[in-house]
Amino acid sequence: MKKVIVILSIVISVKVIANTPSFPSYQQAEKLVAAAWKAPPQSIDITYYVTVRDTTKTEQDLREIYEKAHEQMYGPPEKLNSYMLENRERFVRMNVGRCLKEQQKIGRRHKLRIRFDENRQRVDQVYGPPARTALKSSGKEEFLPEKKLDANTPFDMSIVEVKDVNDISTRFEYVHSNKTATRKKVKRRSSLKNGMINKLIEMPNGLLLRMKMGTNMNGSLGGPYDVNETKINQLCSGTLKDISVKIQPDKDAPDVKDRIEIILYSQEGAPFYESTLICDKEDYSKVYYSEVRSPVGKHLISTRTCSNFDSQGFPHRATLVEYDSEGKVKIHETYLVESVRLNPSIPDEIFKFNPPKDYAVTDLRLPPAERQAAEVVRLKGMLRHEKWMDRLEALAALEKHLKDKAAELRKIAATMLDDEHPAVRERASRILREIGSGE
């Protein structure tokens, strides 16, 4: 009888301990603060590979995209001859099939190099399509092998933005494959570096923790926030308003990792946000895994998995996944970092507009009339491009630019009647017919 009583008391004792709230110790709270308030790099130079699988677009969505693209290049279906209508269907069918295979099964692959500092950023990138079938200029199908991406693969596009004292940016774009360069003014700086790099360097829930454990210094949602000692003490006692933080050793690696569980509550006391992080026990900014779950149904909303951290605490491998409302994978991204330098000194030449002499330059900062004239000159040059798609695109653009200059457009179209590709000849013939009919 005594043995039964002893065993029962042990079971009761274990149950009491298991139900006891586990609030962060002050030492754990200090590590949480250090991670949430960790200063981001002031500059960066990183080269990485990313593969993205995206299931958000349906087959019908993709078909509408390519039907619209074909119409922009060739004109509406009702103005196409039988050959071009057949070409249109093949164009749409092949591209939709390619996108479904690539985006939803294999993933779109890019290599990028990103360099930025406080007021300047540059993104160099190259796309690596998988093996695919394409239409040749003769109308026959051609098999194209996979484009490999490695350390020796040159970039085919570059985007540079430089912000001035008035927070207005000059944007430079280079398309190296077409040897073109464009420059223009933009009123708002894009989020190139925020959208790509912060996924890897920001602590998940960092802003949320700063909001809950800090004092807003200027009233805006993004802060900045100063550490609030009173809130830190409340966190450690479990009395911090509308948030619960529980920190315990990770069950799979209790000696080297901690598990942080965060729950946010509404004013009525109902949970509306749940997140879990698996962090390095000594450095909570080194997050191996994080997830966000729906409090209702407990299905995943997003996950991030990181590994191969270097001496700077930067992960060289990462996988990010977003889920739909049913818990099915919506977007799946994998990152492989080739090299990264934090807070380097980046030469000014990297951010200067300096296209090679053989690049066609378009300056969108010019007044409309000058810009129009410069664009017409550039498009006329593209009419001699070796790729028929580029010639066709240039002819279609010239039709729009010169819609009020029938004589000049007629002369240009006439020179394209002997083009080697039937699609270009058809577009030129249609232009001449429409000009002749007064349309």
Per-residue model confidence as pLDDT tens digits over 374-393: 888 888 888 988 888 889 88
Would the pLDDT of 17 be above 50?
no
As a whole number, mean pLDDT of residues 65-89 equals 86
Helical spans, DSSP H, in 78-220: 82-101, 192-196, 198-201, 206-213
pLDDT for res 136: 64
pLDDT for res 333: 94
pLDDT for res 6: 37
As a whole number, mean pLDDT of residues 10-35 equals 68
Residue 235 dihedral angles phi and psi, to the nearest 5°:
-60, -45
As a whole number, mean pLDDT of residues 90-111 equals 88
Please give the mean pLDDT across all residues of the chain: 86
Would the pLDDT of 437 be above 70?
no
The contacts of residue 52 (CB under 8 Å, 6+ apart) are 103, 107, 108, 110, 331, 332, 333
Confidence of residue 251 (pLDDT cuts 50, 70, 90): very high
What angle (nearest 5°) sits at the alpha carbon of residue 173, between those of residues 170 and 176? 155
As a whole number, mean pLDDT of residues 239-250 equals 94
pLDDT for res 3: 43
Would the pLDDT of 192 be above 60?
no
pLDDT for res 374: 82
Q: Which amino acid, residue 190?
A: S
Would the pLDDT of 112 be above 70?
yes
Integer Cα distance of 419 and 428 in angstroms: 9
Is the peptide bond preceding residue 130 cis, with omega within 30 degrees of 0? no
Integer Cα distance of 343 and 244 in angstroms: 35
Would the pLDDT of 16 be above 50?
no
247: helix, strand or coil: strand
pLDDT for res 138: 60
Q: What is the pLDDT of residues 136-157, one digit of tens each?
A: 656 677 788 889 999 999 999 9
Q: In this predicted structure, which of 9-23, 84-98, 285-299, 316-330 has the lowest mean pLDDT?
A: 9-23
pLDDT for res 342: 92
Would the pLDDT of 253 be above 90?
yes
Would the pLDDT of 10 be above 90?
no
What angle (nearest 5°) sits at the alpha carbon of residue 311, between those of residues 310 and 312? 90
Query: Structure tokens of 34?
Result: 């250090």
Would the pLDDT of 353 be above 70?
yes
Which conformational region is residue 374 in: left (phi greater than 0), alpha (psi within -120 to 50 degrees), or beta?
alpha
As a whole number, mean pLDDT of residues 162-186 equals 85
Pick from 128-132, 161-165, 205-209, 372-376 the range whose average pLDDT is largest. Answer: 205-209
Of residues 384 and 25, which shows the higher confidence score?
A: 25
Of residues 408 and 21, which shows the higher confidence score?
A: 408
Would the pLDDT of 19 be above 60?
no
Report the length, in residues, of the chain: 439
As a whole number, mean pLDDT of residues 5-26 equals 49
Would the pLDDT of 20 be above 80?
no
Would you say 213 and 232 are in contact if contact means Cβ atoms under 8 Å apart? yes
With a pLDDT cut of 90, the percent of the chain lying above it is 50
Would the pLDDT of 1 be above 50?
no
pLDDT for res 390: 84
pTM: 0.79
CB atoms within 10 A of CB 344: 14
Q: What share of the chain is helix, strand, coil (3-state, %, to 5)?
A: 35, 30, 35
Would the pLDDT of 11 be above 70?
no
328: helix, strand or coil: coil
